[in-house]
Chains A and B, each alone.
Chain A
Amino acid sequence: MIEDVRRVVAERLEELDGVVALRRSSEGVAPHVFRKGDDLSELEIAPRYPLMTVVSRLHKAFPDIRLGIVARGCDERAFIEMAKREQVDPDRLFIIGLACTEEEAQECHCSAPFPQNLLVGTPPPPGSPNPMVADYDALSLEERRAFWQGQFVKCLKCYGCRNICPECFCEACAMEDAAWVEPGLLAPPFPVFHLIRGMHMASRCVACRQCELVCPAHIPLTVLYDLMRRDMETMLGYVPGADIEASPPLSVTLEQAPLCVTVEA
């Protein structure tokens, strides 16, 4: 599969300024922008980094740059949500879609382990849902609270979850605002700190799992965000990353994005 990726990248580099992908060097594996003529034997597809963030930075810094990206399903979903929010320019990005393996899909509990613009690999079956999410409704309020208090007490407030997230691009972040999160407290106040992010992720989380991978305290953040994604679909019929034409429902009117459920007020 990797040879196919390298071949497609080589072909595309004929007309693109660069292709964003992972590069292996003697020092490890990191995001890179391959240019025409680069040694593509160094191109890798793992370990996963949120490569769309690189595209976003470069699109903003260089208004004329035309890039490609080796993108998995999650990268493409990130692209869709970022494009809606004008963080990447779809007219200057060519997606070289890469399917995940069955093992990778299962590791991420991914329901869409391949991009729509698929060019390399065959779509594997979706990963089965995280059992903790699937069985969540059976837990009592006390069980839930005890669980999350036990998890969030480990939080070191490194902001890794926020830093690595492709959808977190706000220059002024509510999680850093002393008005909402009292500074100087470790563990950060429960549940304010994490639920701010939980709400902000509702219409943005594309289930790339980078937040959970980067958390030094091994907090199962994706459980909370998967539950929010479930609500977004049930209540507003919205799946982040599915449709580039669908406006983020929380930002627009009821006419533009109606509720699918009745709300008592």
Chain B
Amino acid sequence: MCVEFEPRIVAFMCNWCTYAGADSAGVARMESPANVLPIRVMCSGRVSPEMVLRAFRAGADGVLVMGCHIGDCHYSSGNHRTIKRVPLLRNLLGYAGIDPDRLRLAWVSAAEAPRFVQVTKEFTDTIRELGPLSQEVAG
């Protein structure tokens, strides 16, 4: 018997934009993948590389870091750090032999419930294609 692989995805969502957008999607009864485990942070800039790495270690096959668009950050420039940090971490994962596409940065505002659905669906499909992150990496 073969059980189809369902990706486990951790999504860090900033409180002011993405989390509100996700909540809005839920209230509007939009369907988004159940594979996504939301973790609310006050700002996407708060997401440290060790949080992302720990998520992979804990069993995530993919990690999303989501926040406000540049210019809309509730703390002015928190997401400026995010937009620099995530691409660097994607590259570092690639250097270690982990597909960089397992980590994605996406800006989703509070008014963008459909975009939230689109991003999470797309990302889940991407990770389903990539397959499970090896047992050697997960704890």
Contacts and interface: CB of A to CB of B under 8 A. Distances in A.
Given A189-B57, A250-B85, A196 B77 contact: no
Contact of A254 (B70, B94, B96, B97): B70
Interface stretch (A40-48, A106-114, A142-150): A142-150
B109 to A, nearest CB: 12
Nearest to A228: B92
A228 B91 CA distance: 8
B70 A228 contact: no
B80 A192 contact: no
A146 B97 contact: yes
A192 B54 contact: yes
Interface core residue of A145, A180, A189, A195 (most chain B CB under 10 Å):
A195
A45 to B, nearest CB: 34
Interface residues of B, number: 36
Contacts of B87: 235, 261, 263
Contacts of B94: 141, 144
A154 to B, nearest CB: 15
Interface core residue of B51, B53, B139 (most chain A CB under 10 Å):
B53
A174 B137 contact: no
B38 interface: no
Interface of A is mostly: helix
Contacts of A192: 50, 53-54, 56-57
Interface of B: 48-51, 53-54, 56-57, 69-70, 76-77, 80-81, 83-89, 91-99, 105-107, 136-137, 139
Contacts of B56: 192
Interface of B is mostly: helix
Given A177-B50, A189-B57, A265-B105, A147 B84 contact: no
Contacts of B53: 180, 191-192, 195-196
30 contacts: A141-B94, A144-B94, A144-B95, A145-B97, A148-B96, A174-B48, A177-B50, A191-B93, A192-B54, A196-B49, A196-B50, A198-B96, A224-B92, A224-B95, A228-B88, A228-B92, A231-B91, A231-B92, A236-B84, A249-B84, A250-B81, A250-B84, A254-B70, A254-B77, A257-B84, A259-B84, A263-B86, A263-B87, A263-B105, A265-B105
A202 interface: yes
Given A192-B50, A253-B80, A265-B105, A235 B92 contact: no
- A-B residue pairs, 7 tightest by C-beta: A145-B97, A144-B97, A199-B49, A180-B50, A253-B77, A192-B53, A254-B80
A195 B49 contact: yes
